[in-house]
Amino acid sequence: MHVPVLAGPAITWLRVREDGVYVDCTAGAGGHAVLIAERLITGRLIALDRDPVAVKMAAEQLAPYGCATVLRRNYANLAAVLAELGVPEVQGVLLDAGVSTMQLDDAARGFSLEKDGPLDMRMDPTQGPTAAEFLATTDEERLARVLKQYGDLKRPRRIASAIIGRCREGRLETTRDLFEAVHAALPFVRGVPEETRLVFQAIRIAVNEELRWLESTLVQAIDRLAPGGRLVAISFHSGEDRLVKNAMRDAARVRREFRPDGRIASETPPRLRLLTPKPIRPTSEEIRMNPRARSAKLRAAERLAIPEAAP
CA 170, 174, 180, 185 dihedral sign is positive
Using CA atoms, how far residue 89 sits from 77, 230, 247, in Å, is: 15, 11, 19
Residue-wise DSSP of 134-198: HHHT--HHHHHHHHHHHH--S-HHHHHHHHHHHHHTT---BHHHHHHHHHHH-TTS-SS-HHHHH
- Which pLDDT score is estimated for 191? 54
pLDDT in tens, 188-229: 765 557 788 889 999 999 999 989 999 999 999 999 999 999
Helices 175-185, 156-168: inter-axial angle, 10-degree rounding: 130
Q: Kindly report the CATH class assigned to 7-96+210-303.
A: alpha beta
- Which pLDDT score is estimated for 309? 45
Nearest to 31 by CA among 60, 52, 51: 60
**What number of H helices and E strands is found in the chain?**
13, 9
Of the CATH numbers 3.20.20.70, 3.30.390.50, 1.10.150.170, 1.20.1260.10, which one belongs to the domain with range 116-208? 1.10.150.170
Regions of the chain where pLDDT drops below 70? 1-2, 100-102, 104-105, 189-192, 307-311
**CA–CA separation, 73 and 255 (whole Å):** 32
- Which pLDDT score is estimated for 190? 59
Domain ranges of the chain: 7-96+210-303, 116-208
Nearest to 5 by CA among 215, 307, 292, 201: 292
